[in-house]
Structures are given as structure tokens and as C-alpha cells.
Amino acid sequence: MTIKKAIFPVGGLGTRFLPATKAMPKEMLPVVDKPLIQYAVEEAAAAGIEQFIFVTGRNKTAIEDHFDHSTELEAVLIEKDKADALEVVRRMLREPGSVSYVRQQEPAGLGHAVWCARHLIGTEPVAVLLADDLILGAPAMAEMTAAYTGGNMVALMDVPASDTGAYGIITPGSKQGNLTEIIGIVEKPAPDKAPSDKAVVGRYILEPKIFEELGKGRRGAGGEIQLTDALAARIGHTPFHGLNFSGERFDCGSKIGFLKANIAFGLAHDELQGELSQWLPTRL
């Protein structure tokens, strides 16, 4: 099914990356040469998304500037005859009018961030992408939109049993190919309480009814309004599926995941892979 709109929640505090995130959102941290948010926008565009909605918090200007013309920079690049660099900064711009910004006035949780975009969403399902979940390989959102037939959908991956407390964890129902029916979901369960080792990764397709649920403002794990809880409340009313995507996910919200992503994307980068793969073993 074609999904035309995507929400990018970028209103988190990014405390795990302080001081880097003191004056800029963590979604502007670069992996090799691109900020995390640009990877997410490109993944959405590859899935056919046409409208890009950013839910921002403090320090939003870096993201707005990133997705806008930089007249001064472009003028200098033209003057210096740097055609390749000019192409890089121009090619990434989206169609005029296709990018909107909504402010999340307080970081009250991912569910709250998504709810803040409600007035920009009509009656069609919407994609949600968390830029700090970076995926190498096949774009996960395109796999999801291809498999989507209605209801709610999340991306799934298996995690070590000891890590369930960092994720939304599902209770799986029947399985068909890479799609799993979801019959229960809980946010950040302790390993001895987790219903499975199948965790939600930051890619969602949501039916608009979810906004009514989020609007109830119920606080969940960590005192935050959790998207997981709203998804749980819709079980039984609407289809709910998880998709095992084929790419490799990096948790760029954590320092170690971010470092691993830089190495993996560096090793997959034409200009860097030779020198990086020679140098890496010398550090071990």
C-alpha cells in the first residue's frame, strides 16, 4: 500500500550523547559524512514517502537548515567550481513544500511526539521513522510498505534475552514469511518478564486511529507517553503485524552502536573501505 506521509520524531534530549547534543539534536550526528536524519529521510523517500514531518524539540534549527538551501554555501561552491560538492548539497533537498515542522513543547515521550503531528495527518496511514535506528542494507521502510495491507505495523528484530529492558517487546502470534502477527506488546520489560526476544526497531506504519489512543495522554514506562502502550490498546480492534526486515540495524542512540555504525558504513564506503580495513586490525 502507498504511504505518502512520514513522521520523524527528533524531540528527544539525547542525554547519552552529551555534550555533543548540548546545542544540536542527536539526529544531526554524522555516520561517515551524513547526519542520521538524512539516512532516515532517504529511507522514507525510497519507500515512496512524499511528505516529511519533523517533530522537533529544542535546537531544531540545525535540522531545518540542513534540509534547506544554503545560499551562501552554494554561491561559494559555484565560485570555486566545486560542482561535485554543489551536487551533494542540492541533490538532498526535497521538493518545495514537502517538509513540515511541528514543535514538541516538552520531551514527554515518543508517543507524545507522534501525537504532536496529528493535525498534519488525514485519514491515511502514516510512517514513523526514528533516525537513531540506522539500517544498513535494504531500506526497511520500503519492505514494510510493500507488505502493508492495513492496521498497525512495526519492524522487528531478535535481541539477546538480557537486552529486553531496552526495547518494546512483542508477543508473537502466527507467522507468514517475514510477517509475524502481534498479539501483545510491552515497553521495556525486564528479561524475566519479557514475552519473547522479538524487539521493535524504530520503524512503524500507523493507522490514524492511533492518535485518539495517544490523545488519552496515559503515561507508561519512565513516566512517558509511550507509542507501545497505544499500539497495545489497539490490539483486537485492528490488524497488527511485525516485519523482520533484511538489513542490519545499528542503535545510534548509544555510543557503542554509533561507533559500530561508523565502522560498518565506513567499510561499505567506496573511498574508505580500503584504508579502513587495513588500519582497523592494527588497533586490536
Candidates 8-16, 64-72, 180-188, 269-277 — which segment interacts with ligand UTP by CB under 6 A?
A: 8-16
Give the β-pairing of 99-103 and 126-129. Answer: unpaired
Q: Which is nearer to ligand UTP, 14 or 151 (CB)?
A: 14
**Shortest distance, position 176 Cβ to ligand UTP, whole Å:** 29
Smallest gap from residue 16 Cβ to ligand UTP (A): 3
Task: Check binding of 111 to ligand UTP (CB under 6 A).
Answer: no
Is 35 a binding residue for ligand UTP by CB under 6 A? The answer is no
In whole angstroms, how close is the CB of 21 to ligand UTP at the nearest point? Answer: 8
CB-hemisphere CA count at 13 Å for 16?
Answer: 12
Residue 130 sits in the site that holds ligand UTP (CB under 6 A): yes
**Site track for ligand UTP across 53-92, x = CB under 6 A:** --x-------------------------------------
User: Distance between CA atoms of 268 and 272, rounded to whole angstroms?
Assistant: 8
Q: How far is the CB of 116 from ligand UTP (least distance, A)?
A: 9
Q: Compute the distance between CA of residue 155 and CA of residue 192 in angstroms, rounded to an integer.
A: 23
Identified binder of ligand UTP from the candidate list 29, 31, 53, 109, rule CB under 6 A:
109
Residue 9 φ/ψ region, left for φ over 0, alpha for ψ in the -120 to 50 degree band, beta for the rest: beta
CA 110 from centre of chain: 11
**Stretches 9-17, 45-53, 83-91, 143-151: which one binds ligand UTP (CB under 6 A)?**
9-17
Cell of 18: 552529551
Binding site for ligand UTP (CB under 6 A): 9-16, 55, 104, 107-110, 112-113, 130, 132, 253
